[in-house]
Amino acid sequence: MQIRKIYLLRLIIQISCLIVIIIGQSSFAQSGLTIVREMQRYAEQSGADPSMKMIDLEHFIPGIKTDIRYATKNNFTGELIYTSAKAFARKPVAHALKAVQDSLSELGLGLLIFDAYRPYSATVKLFEIYPHPGFVADPAKGSRHNRGCAVDISLIQLKTGKELKMPTAFDDFSEKAHSKYMDLPAEAIKNRALLFGIMDHFGFDHLETEWWHFDFRGWEKFPLMDISFESLAVRD
Ligand SMILES: [Zn+2]
């Protein structure tokens, strides 16, 4: 009798563990997010609607400079998040950025890209390392970067390639990075205003807490994606 009781207890514990594991694994699925994970699905979507196509910004925009920080250890996590240094964005986003670059070039300036399309699994990884929804996108919601509709950028002098003076470095989570923070050198305020003005003109909204982050207006229609840079580059 005693042996049967112990056997039953062990069975209950094993079943409980299994339930906990299943619930844990399905937590992201429960949030109701639709994430495009297969190349075939992406190909179907971009075939039916060409605006869904992901464009390699370095190929598409002459003179654009990239410094994809998550493909290096020079980011706030100190870890490699991306497997290669690529900047992709949806077709209308790429066209808008090209128009920004054209306008800036008349002033002898250009864009520097720190981050663009971010595969969903990278958002999960960032949140595991730094689980603070105010600073890192919550995987339960996904990021506009996952939709290919957000960019983290700064301005450079075209001649030298040097970044203009800005309020802070990229991914500075202090109050100094807020869009309305004013206790800064006049030059940093002027450059930030130029960046905000030109991005707004070509269809981007800035974020209140990160001067470098811009969302393309109309991002809602583009689905979250988890397709690697390497897969996208093969098709490009
Ligand atoms: Zn961003």
- How far does residue 115's CA lie from ligand 1's centre (Å)? 7
Please give the distance, rounded to the nearest whole angstrom, from the Cα atom of residue 213 to the centre of ligand 1. Answer: 4
**Rounded to the nearest whole angstrom, what is the distance from the C-alpha of residue 1 to the centroid of ligand 1?**
62
Pair of tokens at residue 91: 């077709």
Confidence of residue 135 (pLDDT cuts 50, 70, 90): confident
Establish if 172 belongs to a structural domain: yes
Query: Alpha helices, DSSP H only, in the chain?
Result: 2-25, 27-30, 39-48, 57-60, 91-105, 120-129, 186-201, 229-235
Domain membership of residue 23 (yes or no) is no
- Predicted TM-score (pTM) of the model is 0.86
Mean predicted confidence (pLDDT) in 104-129: 97
In terms of DSSP bridges, do strands 224-225 and 35-36 run parallel, antiparallel, or are they unpaired?
A: parallel
Distance of CA 150 from the midpoint of ligand 1 (Å) = 6
Say how many C-beta atoms besides its own lie within 10 A of residue 144's C-beta.
Answer: 23
pLDDT of residue 138: 93
**Domain containing residue 195:** 31-235
CA dihedral sign of residues 49, 52, 54, 59: positive
Report yes or no on 173 lying in a domain. Answer: yes
CA distances 18 to 10, 15, 22, 24, Å, are 12, 5, 6, 10
What is the per-residue pLDDT across 50-70, written as a single tens digit (0 to 9) for each? 999 999 999 999 999 999 999
Tell how far the Cα of 151 is from the centroid of ligand 1, in angstroms.
6
Residue 225: exposure state from Cβ atoms within 10 A (0-12, 13-18, ≥19): buried
pLDDT higher than 60, residue 26: no
Q: What is the CATH number of the domain that holds 176?
A: 3.30.1380.10
Q: With respect to residue 12, please indicate whether it lies within any of the assigned structural domains.
A: no
Tell me the residue type at 184.
L
Q: In whole numbers, what is the pLDDT of the chain averaged over residues?
A: 90
Q: Return the residue matching tokens 């988890």.
A: 226
Is residue 228 exposed (0-12), middle (13-18) or buried (19+ Cβ within 10 Å)?
middle
Q: Give me the residue label for tokens 């979507």.
A: 45
Cα(15) to centroid(ligand 1), Å:
42
How much distance in Å is there from the Cα of 110 to the middle of ligand 1? 19
How many structural domains is the chain composed of?
Answer: 1
Rounded to whole angstroms, how far apart are CA atoms 61 and 208? 27
pLDDT at 15: 55
Check if the beta carbon of residue 174 is closer than 8 Å to that of residue 135: no
Distance 202 CA to ligand 1 centre (A): 17
Say if 13 falls within a structural domain. no
**Residue 132: per-residue pLDDT:** 87
